[in-house]
Amino acid sequence: MENKWSRLGFAKSTESPVTIMNVCAMLKQNLNAAYPRPPVLLGHGDPSAFPCFRTSPVAEEAVVDALKSAKFNSYAPSLGLLQARRSIAEYLSRDLPYKLLPDDVFVTSGCKDAIQVMINVLARAGSNVLLPRPGFPRYETFCAFSQLEVRHYELLPEKGWEVCLDSIEALTDEKTAAIVVINPGNPCGNVYSHRHLREIAETAKKLGILVIADEVYGHLCFGDDPFVPMGIFGSVVPVITLGSISKRWAVPGWRLGWIAINDPLKMLQESAIVECIKICLDCSPEPVTFIQGAIPKILQDTTEQFFSSTNSILKEAAEICFNKVNEIPCIACPHKPQGSIFVMVKLDVSLLEDIKDDMDFCLKLAKEESVVVLPGTVVGMKNWLRITYAVEPLCLEDGLERIKAFCHRRSATP
């Protein structure tokens, strides 16, 4: 007899998606338990566990004070507490040629929630969206769930992972609503120049599409180019900026992010998109009220010293990573990371014995050396690897030495 619950038809759609977390969890289950040293996890990026990346004391005090004030025990409005919206508007306006108002900002449960809201908004309009390859697979997961059509444009490794502008023109049609640009980049560690961001904005203007700027790594830059927010081109084309405190303050568990509408010429007024964002926010949970209450102090009072010390640790770590990777014949790094906490490296499996592809490499690396790195396939690039260097420097060096030993042992004899 047929199970009466099967009429609900979930069975076909319940395969768990290929997410970074799921693949890292699978690799962690395959670690070499007999390895004499602790595992080194360079797959999933979350530096908050390491003492050298501990958040600013200002941020911790802000949360404690907000909690103890007993002023933030109520429900927050679905768009966010006014003082939180105002302080985020002021924080973002520091780098813009115009001022954002509290009404231009919505508070979300981290940047992931901001992504989900925007994907739902675009899906309701029956449009399609341009996503980068390689990219951040959470976008694809949300798009699949909301049945929003995805079109991938390429990032060019030989050009510092710049956006392939030609491919954008070819992909865009009447139904294309937006292009997502992640800068500083995950997974590539790119930081785009003012010139390139302007080119993207001009292209979007010409094609009549919005720019969704994922700036969750905003200001985490340590190369030659400073961080330039896409919002400075808001009068060229409307820019919707997504961000959070998760990465710059190393507190992803606090779940506080935002959506900011950069549209000083009010080009979006007739489109009702902002109204649609508000409806979608009504359907998603508000971030915890006392974290919202702490936000003004976190954004205003965190010291420059905290930010510069984080960036200098990341710079050193990126340097170690780049140099070590280049000592290993079967992997190559086309572009030294300039920001965020990741780098993409190319794997040449033809130089290795009995390694089929990037998945196979990562699985055997975990089993033999107790090191986790992310197969590039998960972020859209087969036979590449994504490595995070946001771990304690000694741990990073140890991990990279173990990758080197693995590659050496497996190297194909000609």
Sign of the Cα pseudo-torsion (302, 254, 135, 31, in order): positive
* Residue with smaller CB distance to ligand PLP, 76 or 355: 76
Rounded Cα distance, 96 and 63, in Å: 28
The three-class DSSP label of residue 262 is strand
Closest approach, Cβ 359 to ligand PLP, in A, equals 21
Taking the least distance from each CB to ligand PLP, the nearer of 203 and 246 is: 246
Using alpha carbons only, give the angle 54, 58, 62 rounded to the nearest 5 degrees.
115
Using the minimum distance from each CB to ligand PLP, give the nearer residue, 72 or 136.
Answer: 136
Helix (H) or strand (E) holding 141: helix 138-146
Cβ distance 126 to 281 under 8 Å? no
Residues of the shown chain interacting with ligand PLP in the complex, contacts defined by CB under 6 A: 110-112, 136, 182, 186, 214, 216, 244, 246, 252, 257
Closest CB to ligand PLP among residues 216, 313? 216
* Smallest separation, CB 49 to ligand PLP (Å): 14
Minimum CB separation of residue 252 from ligand PLP in Å reads 4
Q: Name which of 256 and 407 has its Cβ closer to ligand PLP.
A: 256
Judged by CB, which is closer to ligand PLP: 110, or 337?
Answer: 110
Q: How far is the CB of 371 from ligand PLP (least distance, A)?
A: 21
Output the CA–CA distances (angstroms, integers) from residue 137 to 143, 150, 325, in the order listed: 10, 12, 24
Nearest approach, Cβ of 329 to ligand PLP (angstroms)? 30
Least separation, in Å, of the C-beta of 246 and ligand PLP? 3
Cβ 353 vs Cβ 412: under 8 Å: yes
> What stretches of 107-159 show up as alpha helix (H) in DSSP?
110-124, 138-146
For residue 4 the two structure tokens come to: 């009466």
Q: Which residues pair with 242 in a beta bridge?
A: 214, 259
